[in-house]
Structure 1
Amino acid sequence: MKTATAEILLVSCGIFREELARLGPSVMGQARLMFLDSMLHMRPAKLDEILLGLAKNEDRRMALVYGDCCPHMADLTRLPSIRKVRGVNCCDIILGQTMYRQLRREGVFFFLPEWTSRWEEVFRVELGLKDRPLAREFMHEMHTRLMYLDTGLADVPTRTLRDIEAFFDMPVEVRPIGLEHLERGVMDVIRRLG
């Protein structure tokens, strides 16, 4: 049985690598960080396999900084030594539920810094939207606007955002955001591990 003195492994999607590094030990205490490739979001069964494998370690507690990104996430969080930050996805986690839901109702599609740098891999390779007219139809049908969530930890990638605008024929709004929701989420999940 895992005890309160057992190691805490904080497993996070790589999308939050820079943000969690900025929060550091003042928020995470002695938790050991492990980042998984954000592209696992596109392979939920593989993410499931990795997380289930990590859950087998009897000598630690595990905090997950993930949304509901794989089929067995709810099963994992029912285990006594595993907790997940609150939020359905990375945008919910970093924006907070109220702002996230409001912007989703408005039809916003979000770009976080890490995926912005990989946008072509995400859309052209992973989603197969190589054809610009098809990509535009997809985005215009599903969303009213695009938004880059600027965490303030890197320069806004203006040139990349222009490429995204041209590809989807939609402007990208830059929204500065803080890390307070992520910080609260991480502190809460560590507290719940007790």
Structure 2
Amino acid sequence: MSDKATPYCVLLGCGILQAEVRWLIEKNGWQLDTDFLDSSLHVNFEKLAHALQSGILRNRGRDVIVFYGCCHPRMEKILETAHIFRTEGQNCVEMLLGPERFMAELSDGAFFLLEDWALRWDEAIGKTFGDNPDVTREIFQLSNKSLLCLRTPCSGDFEAEAIAIGEKIGLPLRWMDVDLLHLEAVLREAMSHLQLIEDSENQGMTA
């Protein structure tokens, strides 16, 4: 099977790893368009569902791969209704780290921080907890032991922002350099799945 999806294929979903996804598309020469949604939608299920459904309608007539994990309680129902599928993984961090590494860090109390959220913390997270810093700190410290900052080959310098966030929520910082091998495998698998669907549909038409 070719590495290239059909030109009318679009990856629709979370923009938190858009720099990494675009880099992989360019690296592999994939014929894959992108339609990224605001990563801060995760904190508002109603807005997330609306944005995703609008994106599906916007790309009607194209083969759509949804780039989300289990980020909405009705995610699978939304996809089933639209007859489309999503990338494999609980969330974008798991797609980046792989399930074993992700679960190990999660079990150790890590709150994962990527550059996109670090640069837009008040917009993505601050609105959720309001202007009460004591409440915010208490919530984060209840279930987290550290702020794990993930750097990819596409990341810029967000150290100052990460330090400020760590001080806000009262968690120590840790840093992890992450390659894109697992994310690349997730995208490749999704494109292979799409190709299988297309091949099956084509066989049905010629039967």
Normalising by structure 1, we get a TM-score of 0.87
- Tell me the CA shift for residue 79 of structure 1: 5.9
- 1:9, 1:60 within 8 Å by CA — same for their partners in 2? yes
* Equivalence map 1:98-117=2 (5 Å): 98-117=100-119
The 1:187/1:161 distance shift into structure 2, 3 A limit, reads same
Distance 2:83 2:33 in 1: 15
Distance 1:70 1:9 in 2: 20
Normalising by structure 2, we get a TM-score of 0.82
2:167 maps to 166
Paired residue type of 2:73: P
- 1:145, 1:171 within 8 Å by CA — same for their partners in 2? yes
| Identity level (%) | 27
- Tell me the CA shift for residue 165 of structure 1: 2.0
- Secondary structure, counterpart of 1:78 in structure 2: helix
- Tell me the CA shift for residue 127 of structure 1: 2.8
The 1:25/1:93 distance shift into structure 2, 3 A limit, reads same
- Tell me the CA shift for residue 10 of structure 1: 0.8
The 1:19/1:148 distance shift into structure 2, 3 A limit, reads same
Distance 1:50 1:168 in 2: 29
Paired residue type of 1:187: R
The 1:61/1:53 distance shift into structure 2, 3 A limit, reads same
Paired residue type of 2:174: E
Distance 1:63 1:20 in 2: 13
1:31-83 superposed Cα distances (whole Å, 9 cap, x missing partner): 21111111111222222223334445552211111111223321244368522
Structure 1 position 190 matched with structure 2 position 191: yes
The 1:170/1:33 distance shift into structure 2, 3 A limit, reads same
Distance 1:167 1:153 in 2: 26
Between the two proteins, the alignment pairs up a number of residues equal to 190
Paired residue type of 1:141: L
Distance 2:189 2:179 in 1: 17
Distance 2:129 2:98 in 1: 27
* Equivalence map 1:38-53=2 (5 Å): 38-53=39-54
The structure whose Rg is larger is 2
Cα RMSD over matched residues? Answer: 2.2
Q: Which moved more, 1:69-78 or 1:148-157?
A: 69-78
Q: Which moved more, 1:80-89 or 1:139-148?
A: 80-89
1:136 maps to 137
Paired residue type of 1:106: D
Distance 1:16 1:134 in 2: 29
Paired residue type of 1:72: R
2:129 maps to 127
1:151 maps to 152
Q: Any gaps of 5 or more consecutive residues in structure 2?
A: 196-207
